[in-house]
Amino acid sequence: MTEPVIQTKGLSKVYRGRAAVEALDLHIAEGDIYGFLGPNGAGKTTTIRMLLGLIKPTRGSIRILGKELRKNKLQVLRQVGSLVEYPSYYGHLSAVQNLEAIRRILDVPAIRIAEVLDIVSLTKEARRPVRGFSLGMKQRLGIAAALLGSPKLLILDEPTNGLDPAGIQEIRELIKDMPRQHGMTVLVSSHLLGEVEQMAGTVGIIREGRMVYQDTIHNLRLQSAQGIRLSVSEPDKALGIVQSVGWECTLQEGMLHCAGVSDRDVARLVRLLVELDHDIYRVEEQRKSLEDIFMRIVGKGVS
């Protein structure tokens, strides 16, 4: 197995005796899009700032692209592109001129500017002053700047914050292509699961500085299966019957709710009721939305 692109062990940051990030073990595989989630103030930005060498961890270690960050900072960060908070630009200069300033610092070929503008679909607007750009265009320009150095790892801190749904969609489409088309690994933070669920392969959820969930989005989805709901002719009687044979069912709004049932259980349950002359009008699968699960994990809206 190849080494993770990001691996932290026991990563912590304490401000005035209070832990903003506590014993965080991040594990981000090569080619993955990792959704780094948590409510406001959970510690996402603090973590990202540590990963980018902008602030020093109080404790713990960070390995990025196979190297200890602390000992190989310049070498590692040269391979990392990032967008943190709202990027600032020279408003009177065009996108090309703004990128040119960064390109010189990075010392990459001039052709790279046209390439990154194409990736973020800003080629047409490339010569307009940036002050006339929408927030979405500014964020895309920020991503273009992050891509200039052809990084292996892209770190984006809440890139869709403040954007309208169309802007969010554009950024999402852009990020989705990064691993496949450009061979990059991406860490993208958000306080909304809905914003990353369609692109992330893995999610890490933090709450009050601690990791409370880290697994594939697929496994998170598996948790959403909930049970079934039946609309039947005589709900009270039907409930008595199914409970007497050991099913965990309840009555809610005149419908039978049965938790934790497999497909075979559903068939047996329906057969049992039909054989006892009950009419079944509807059988519905009940799923929790991913957002519900997310809220439960971050400790709000427990259901």
Ligand X SMILES: Nc1ncnc2c1ncn2[C@@H]1O[C@H](COP(=O)(O)OP(=O)(O)OP(=O)(O)O)[C@@H](O)[C@H]1O
User: In Å, how far are 229, 243, 292 from 299, measured between CA atoms?
Assistant: 26, 32, 10
Q: Annotate each residue in 122-141 with x if it binds ligand X (CB under 6 A) or - if it does not, as one string.
A: --------------------
Cβ proximity to ligand X, 41 vs 240, nearer residue:
41
Q: Does 44 bind ligand X (CB under 6 A)?
A: yes
Amino acid at 113: I
Q: In what order do the strands lie in the sheet with 225-232?
A: 249-252, 255-259, 225-232, 280-287
Do strands 33-37 and 202-207 pair parallel, antiparallel, or not at all (unpaired)? parallel
Segment contacting ligand X by CB under 6 A, of 3-11, 34-42, 58-66, 280-288: 34-42
Supply the minimum distance, in Å, between the C-beta of residue 201 and ligand X. Answer: 21
Supply the minimum distance, in Å, between the C-beta of residue 21 and ligand X. Answer: 7
Amino acid at 91: G
Q: Where are the alpha helices (DSSP H) in 183-216?
A: 193-196
Six token digits for residue 279: 């009419």
Q: Does 43 bind ligand X (CB under 6 A)?
A: yes
Q: Does 11 bind ligand X (CB under 6 A)?
A: no
Cβ–Cβ < 8 Å for 27, 7: yes
Q: Does 145 bind ligand X (CB under 6 A)?
A: no
Segment contacting ligand X by CB under 6 A, of 3-11, 39-47, 60-68, 179-187: 39-47
Cβ proximity to ligand X, 44 vs 278, nearer residue:
44
CA distance 143 to 132: 18
Q: Under rule CB under 6 A, how many of the chain's residues touch ligand X?
A: 11
In the region spanning residues 172 to 231, those forming contacts with ligand X, defined by CB under 6 A, are 191
Report DSSP state, residue 120.
T
Q: Does 46 bind ligand X (CB under 6 A)?
A: yes
Rg, Å, the chain Cα set: 25
Supply the minimum distance, in Å, between the C-beta of residue 86 and ligand X. Answer: 12
Residues in contact with ligand X by CB under 6 A are: 15, 20, 38, 40-46, 191
